[in-house]
């Protein structure tokens, strides 16, 4: 993404044009690309790739503690702790959060 944006910026700058917005397909959807575009103050319109979900129903993300927390009524108020990240075969970084089995094993919402 960076190389394409830099080349495009160079070509447009020769004509006094700056990139303010960008449209791309899902092949460019990655945390690294979005972070780069945010840093360059470019509004990007790129569909989410694969399994990414910005929200998890029944949970809130506690940024300070870097964990998900169960908020469902009747739930066990479990904490889903950050377990690490991995880069998949396509170069996308995937982060994993999990609860302990003992926190959720008797939860009436487990099947959901």
pLDDT above 70: residue 51: no
pLDDT tens digits, one per residue of 53-96: 667 777 888 888 888 888 876 666 788 888 888 887 777 777 88
* Percent of the chain whose predicted confidence (pLDDT) is above 70: 85
**How far apart (Å, rounded) are the C-alpha atoms in residues 48 and 29?**
6
37 burial level (CB within 10 Å; 0-12, 13-18, 19+): buried
**How far apart (Å, rounded) are the C-alpha atoms in residues 36 and 1?**
9
Locus of tokens 């394409």: 4
Q: Where in the chain are the domains?
A: 2-45, 59-101
The predicted pLDDT at position 16 comes to 94
Q: Strands across the sheet with 93-98, in order?
A: 59-62, 67-70, 79-87, 93-98
């Amino acid at each position: 993404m960076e190389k394409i944006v830099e080349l495009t910026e160079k070509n447009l700058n020769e004509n006094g044009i700056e990139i303010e917005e960008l449209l791309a397909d899902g092949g460019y959807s990655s945390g690294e690309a979005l972070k780069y575009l945010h840093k360059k103050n470019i509004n990007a319109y790129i569909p989410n790739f694969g399994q990414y979900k910005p929200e998890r129903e029944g949970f809130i993300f506690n940024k300070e503690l870097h964990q998900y927390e169960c908020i469902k009524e009747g739930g066990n108020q479990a904490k889903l702790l950050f377990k690490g990240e991995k880069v998949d075969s396509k170069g996308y970084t995937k982060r994993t959060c999990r609860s302990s089995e003992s926190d959720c094993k008797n939860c009436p919402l487990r099947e959901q």
